[in-house]
Amino acid sequence: MKIEDVVCPFCGCLCDDLVVQVEGNRVVNVENGCTLANEKFMGDHRLETPIRRSGKKWERISYDEAIAETAGILLDADRPLLYGWSGTYGEAQTIGVHLAEVLGAVIDNTSTVCHGPSIMAIQEVGHPGCTLGQIKNRADVVIYWAANPIEAHPRHMSRYTTFADGFFVKNAFRERKVIVVDVRETDSSQIADEFVKVNPGGDYAILSALRAIVRGKRDIIPPNVEGVSREQLFRVAEICMAAKFGAIFFGVGLTMASGKYKNIRNAIELTEELNRHTKFTISPMRGHWNVYGSNEVFTWITGYPYAVDFARGIAFYNPGETTSVDILRRGECDACLVVASDPGAHFPRACAEHLARIPTIQIDPHVNATTHLSQIQIPVAVTGIDAEGTAYRMDGVPLRTRKLFQGSHPDDLEVLEKIYAIVREAKG
């Protein structure tokens, strides 16, 4: 069976034009997908049943047993952490937040190790952005800053920017200038009209220099700023100011480099400055599929996009204190539920070690690095393949994924609802 207009469940691009061929409960072919999408659909090797650590071995257990034991561990904990959420859909995230609320737990999503600092910058200065179609139809200048879309978001350029013809930009490849700013050459920098190679950690200074130039203060720019010549900076500023519509995309290379959220703040303020001359927007390249959806869901229920602590009864947010990495590094958390992400692969070593010390339960379709730190793993259907629900694209456009076949696993929502029911019952 061929299914059209399938929404890809891999990265924040949420390409929704995939054609997927299904035989039974297996995807056998994907058209229009990038290599990441193909691997997501085709290289799908599931854990079959829930498993529990027993000495040095794993034993298979039933779903009911795994769910009851998970609920018990969370109820026994003084400082539970519910982490992950970016790989699942909004309806499941909603139950996750309610579960955290009843438990008095901390709930956090993968922003904590990706665009968390971007969110902090937005909370200081705001965010002039737009939907991706606005860029496709209008932008004559696109800047990728510390991002390598060709490898991380392979269809970003063809669907939304460099190669995407739009209403006002009939021949994107010719009419649209692409600037790449990065610390090293990448596949993306090779197709740029202008590549700005910055010294590692030098982004903040470059952004400040560009702001100064846009403000008309060329005289104060030294001949070389963090490895970039004054002439190139002037040229880049001129391209930006001459643009009819410019769009900056920034990656984790800017967010997580030295300076962190201050870099993003500076980039946003540059965008604001440019808006006094022309139209400019800025957007984070959200990586992990529905991470933006987890920010949205957390926000409308709790008021905060990530790192929400319910221990006081109210929702409390203080990145650096209530963020997962900090809670784990301080050894504060005494049980952890991981849903739809892989902190074992992405967290600092000290945090992973703490996860291995405490009862960690993972709800995830696949065996991954976190499996090795966990007590229990509950396999579920893969959202976007055999489970459907809402996901938010990196620009905030919400889409509903399709269920391509009826699989044999329950989905995240079913499992979480059962845990929630037990916890609610116990908490009265």
Query: Could you list the residues that contact another protein (CB under 8 A)?
Result: 4-5, 7, 16-17, 90, 94, 98, 101-102, 119, 122-134, 136-138, 159-160, 165-168, 244-245, 272, 275-276, 278-279, 281, 295-296, 299-305, 310, 312-315, 317, 390, 392, 396-400
Beta carbon nearer to another protein, 123 or 232? 123
Q: What does the DSSP 8-state code read for residue 75?
A: H
- Considering the complex, what minimum distance in angstroms separates the CB of residue 295 from another protein? 7
Beta carbon nearer to another protein, 267 or 361? 267
**CA 36, 306, 292, 363 torsion-angle sign:** positive
Angle between helix 116-125 and helix 261-275 axes, rounded to 10 deg: 40
Beta carbon nearer to another protein, 121 or 225? 121
- Considering the complex, what minimum distance in angstroms separates the CB of residue 49 from another protein? 29
- Considering the complex, what minimum distance in angstroms separates the CB of residue 125 from another protein? 5
Coil, strand or helix at 134: helix
Beta carbon nearer to another protein, 362 or 390? 390
- Considering the complex, what minimum distance in angstroms separates the CB of residue 414 from another protein? 15
Are the beta carbons of 408 and 25 closer than 8 angstroms?
yes
- Considering the complex, what minimum distance in angstroms separates the CB of residue 404 from another protein? 14
If you compute the radius of gyration of the chain from its CA atoms, what whole number of angstroms results?
Answer: 23
Are the beta carbons of 373 and 116 closer than 8 angstroms?
no
Beta carbon nearer to another protein, 101 or 203? 101
Who contacts 210 (Cβ-Cβ below 8 Å, separation ≥6)?
233, 236, 237, 240, 270
Rounded distance between C-alpha atoms, residue 16 and residue 34, angstroms: 12
- Considering the complex, what minimum distance in angstroms separates the CB of residue 406 from another protein? 17
Query: Cα 25 to chain center, whole Å?
Result: 28
Rounded distance between C-alpha atoms, residue 408 and residue 428, angstroms: 33
Beta carbon nearer to another protein, 3 or 367? 3
Are the beta carbons of 256 and 145 closer than 8 angstroms?
no
Beta carbon nearer to another protein, 50 or 319? 319
Who contacts 415 (Cβ-Cβ below 8 Å, separation ≥6)?
63, 67, 363, 378, 380
Q: Which two tokens stand for residue 328?
A: 């784990």
Q: Which two tokens stand for residue 182?
A: 């990065």
Angle between helix 63-76 and helix 90-103 axes, rounded to 10 deg: 40
- Considering the complex, what minimum distance in angstroms separates the CB of residue 290 from another protein? 13
- Considering the complex, what minimum distance in angstroms separates the CB of residue 112 from another protein? 15
Beta carbon nearer to another protein, 183 or 399? 399
